[in-house]
Structure 1
Amino acid sequence: MLTKLSCVAVLFCFVWINGFTQSTSVRPANQVKATQLKPFGRYIFNASQELELISSAAQVGFRFEGRECKLYVTTPSGHNYLQYELDGVYQKRIRIDSQGKEPIVITASSSGKHTIWLYKATEAHTGPVIIRQVEADNIQPVERPAAPLIEFIGNSITCGAAADPSEVPCGTGQYHDQHNAYKAYGPRLARMLGVNYMLSSVSGIGVYRNWNSDGPAMPQVYEKTDFQANNPQQWDFKTYSPNIVSIALGTNDFSKGDGKKARLPFDSTQFIGEYIKFISLVKTKYPNVQIALLSSAMLTGKTREMLQNCLLSIKASIDRQYPQDKPVALFFFEPMQARGCTGHPNVEDHAILAKQLLPFFEKLIR
């Protein structure tokens, strides 16, 4: 009798434990660790298994249920910025402080199922936004849907730098306080086209020289994960395969700098030579990719004409060197009187630039 009772008891315990295990395994998740997220753009998972969003508009998404979610984020840069979409609608920028002890709470206007996409508002040189984990009811990471991809290479304009003084007025705060990568021309254009995008951009950078220095210019930092010349960490270009690489460089090569540091006149021969070599470098990363070269809306008169002539020469040279590839596409912006901080386009100006580019890229993306 004892043996039978023991068997029954063991069987009951097994069924109860098994049922308990199954019931707990299907409970809604309330936490997603950084390593479970599926970021898009330039990023790394660091030694602490945290997600570092590095490049402008680097992004990550998740779904949850209820009315709020909690972000455990920090930055080594004093302060930094995220911005976000809720259910496909842009909301606002969020300031991230280096302490990062308390979670940032994002609240929806109603309960139910919601999708959030977070975007890094600032550029790589501002430092990373570090995500440790995200919490919410029934939270699940989401991937960026499959779609054609455009990589936008450029300078501060491509970053969306100095474009948004709505919270910190021009001339106050720090340089990155007016960054708004989400509303820069590249991301705007990509959303209009329904394609994916990534930004490979650095403020003040040029092809053979920068705004106020002789380098390192874009060809020297492009292969670095964070576009810092002294960083040994190389970006893995096998991560993405862009359909189009858009390059908008030249504004800073033409710059006269701050007027204090000695600055030689613009050297068109050096500019053309370095630009050709840079395009060849890009082609080693993405064979047969469509290259699109954009002029600068910030240049006028003779400098505008000179840049356009340089781009025509570069196109002719690349097309000769790579006869089997798609011909280089050129787009010349109309001159713009920029209304942002320090002579940069503001968010409304970026909308104008994106609208100008739309027919050009519609033909390329087909």
Structure 2
Amino acid sequence: MKRVLGLIGAAWLSTSALSAPLTVTPVSTKAGAPLPIHIGGRVEPTADGYRRQWPGTYFEASFRGEGVLLKIGEGDVILRISVDATSAATLVKPKPGLYRVDGLANGRHTIRVDVASESQAASTVFGGFYATAGTRALPSPARTRQIEFIGDSHTVGYGNISAKRDCTQDEVWATTDTSQAMPALTARRYGADYQVNAISGRGIVRNYDGMPGDTVPAAYPFTLFDKAKRYADPAWHPSLYVIALGTNDFTTPLHPNEPWKTRDALHADYEQHYVAFVKRLRARDPNAHVVLWATDMADGEIASEVAKVAARLKAAGERNVTFVPVTGLAFTGCHAHPSTADDGRITTALSTYIDAHAEMWARK
């Protein structure tokens, strides 16, 4: 399809034809009635909409008509907008305000807004969807399957759409697209809702190169990274947890000021905390399947340690836990991270286990 680039406010907009040329433009009109919204990911409802920070958040609504409004709140973000499962527009650092999506044939439509970028530095706000004149709300999309992805930059999709490995931090941000990363590909394959609870550079007990900051298990219980509110959603009970943590624990040498004096000490601490983390997840969802995966980076150290964690969990009586090694990745994304092609390879590796355990979707 032909793609046209234009500048709208502070946002670059790309459009492609659906049934007619689609436009997404800022408007100063007042919003109509809010449309029922379906949200994937952790959010904190506010007066301005939905505040979010974990990657991969998405928002969906269905309606009948020729157009719809969406409201964007504060925070630097890259948004992928699609209508009826067709890519429609990309907004990069859009200014807060109301935007109108036009150019649709009069009929039933589903709009989706995916947060593509990572938001470690600060949370961002999405304000929701609103009716235009003649638009009629329809029930928001719903799915019965749920998958939760937990991890680091390999789960986020860090620099995965980059054409080069040597990237500035601005280029990393601009070429990170969680909506094209492994979690989105896997969830789409199985028609599932999903959460991406991952932070680039963080590990189980140690962050990349020993840098300060919460590890993933320390940040995990909270809705936002400020840890002001614990996350709770009685409707969120995934049938499958897909976890990849260890890259940042093991890909750099230990420093003298770190608490582990030997690699063996780091291994023991990692295994103990990883086992405890998975057990906490299983206490909440005892029937969920758990897939632990790892690449062959760090001369196999990561994969070896993750395999030990899976073995310890099984020895402790945990059912439906497996380790999936992932090899053959090209790592052509920013800073030698998986590319979107690699994301597809990871998805394929995970699907071998998922396809063999279709019973997970039938559990109550």
Give the TM interval when normalised to the shorter protein: 0.7 to 0.9
Partner deviation per Cα, 1:162-190 (whole Å, 9 max, x = no partner): 11237xx9436364222211111111011
Query: 1:75 matched to which residue of 2?
Result: 74
Q: Distance in 1 between matches of 2:245 and 2:195?
A: 16
The alpha carbon displacement at 1:50 in A equals: 1.7
Matching residue of 2:9:
none
Once the two structures are TM-superposed, the CA of residue 113 in structure 1 deviates from its matched residue by 2.7
Match of 2:277 in 1: 278
Number of matched residues?
320
Which amino acid counterpart does residue 308 of structure 2 have in structure 1?
A: S
Residue 207 of structure 1: which of 197, 204, 207 is its match?
Answer: 204
Matches within 5 A, 1:146-157: 146-157=143-154
Q: Normalised by the size of structure 1, how large is the TM-score? A: 0.78
Identify the match of residue 93 of structure 1 among 75, 90, 95.
90
Residues 228-279 of structure 1, C-alpha deviation per residue, up to 9 Å, x if partnerless? 2x4221001534001011111110101217x999666642111111111111
- 3-state SS, counterpart of residue 326 of structure 1: coil
Structure 2: stretches of 5+ with no match in the other structure = 1-30, 360-364
Deviates more, 1:118-127 or 1:202-211: 118-127
Look up the match of 1:31. Answer: 32
SS at match of 2:229: coil
Tell me: CA distance 1:89–1:262, structure 2 relative to 1, closer, same or farther (3 Å). farther
Residue pair 1:340, 1:346 contacting (<8 A) in 2 also: yes
1:236 is matched by which residue type in structure 2? A
- What do residues 114-168 of structure 1 show as CA deviations (whole Å, max 9, x unaligned)? 21111121235253332334333424264342322110101011111211237xx
Structure 1: distance between partners of 2:139 and 2:333: 34
Q: Which runs of 5+ in 1 are unaligned?
A: 1-29
Shift of 1:191: 0.8
| Identity in percent | 18
Relative distance call for 1:351 and 1:246 in structure 2 (3 A) is same
Task: Return the TM-score normalized by structure 2.
Answer: 0.78
Residues 57 and 31 from structure 1, CA distance in 2 versus in 1: closer, same or farther, beyond 3 angstroms?
A: farther
- Find the aligned partners of 1:308 and 1:104 in 2 and give their Cα distance: 46
> Is the 8 Å Cα contact of residues 62 and 117 (structure 1) preserved in structure 2?
yes
How is 1:177-326 mapped onto 2 (pairs within 5 angstroms)? 177-212=174-209, 213=211, 215-226=213-224, 228=225, 230-256=226-252, 266=263, 267-296=266-295, 299=297, 301=299, 304=300, 306-321=301-316, 323=317, 325-326=318-319
Matched, 1:112 2:107: yes
Which residue number in structure 1 is paired with residue 8 of structure 2?
none
- CA contact 2:64–2:137 (8 Å) conserved in 1: no
Higher strand share: 2
SS in 1 for 2:231: coil
Partner in structure 1 of residue 355 of structure 2: 362
CA distance, structure 2, for counterparts of residue 353 and residue 134 of structure 1: 33
Deviates more, 1:53-62 or 1:121-130: 121-130
Distance change in 2, residues 1:320/1:261 (3 Å): closer
Mean CA deviation greater in 356-365 or 215-224:
356-365
| Distance in 1 separating the partners of 2:147 and 2:219 | 19
Contact 2:67/2:135, CA 8 A, preserved across alignment: no
Q: CA deviation at 1:108?
A: 3.9
- Aligned-residue CA RMSD (Å): 2.7
Match status 1:58 vs 2:57: yes
Secondary structure of 1:45's partner?
strand
Closer, same or farther in 2 for the Cα pair 1:141/1:109, shift >3 Å?
Answer: closer
Specify the alignment match of 2:362 in structure 1. Answer: none
Moved more, 210-219 or 145-154: 210-219
SS of the residue 2:351 aligns to:
helix
Task: Determine the C-alpha separation between the residues in 2 that align with 1:194 and 1:132.
Answer: 26
Structure 2 Cα separation of the partners of residues 123 and 142 of structure 1: 29
Deviates more, 1:345-354 or 1:270-279: 345-354
Q: 1:215 and 1:105, CA in 2 relative to 1: closer, same or farther beyond 3 A?
A: same
Match of 1:330 in 2: 323
Work out the CA distance in 1 between the residues paired with 2:160 and 2:136. Answer: 33
Q: Which moved more, 1:204-213 or 1:66-75?
A: 66-75
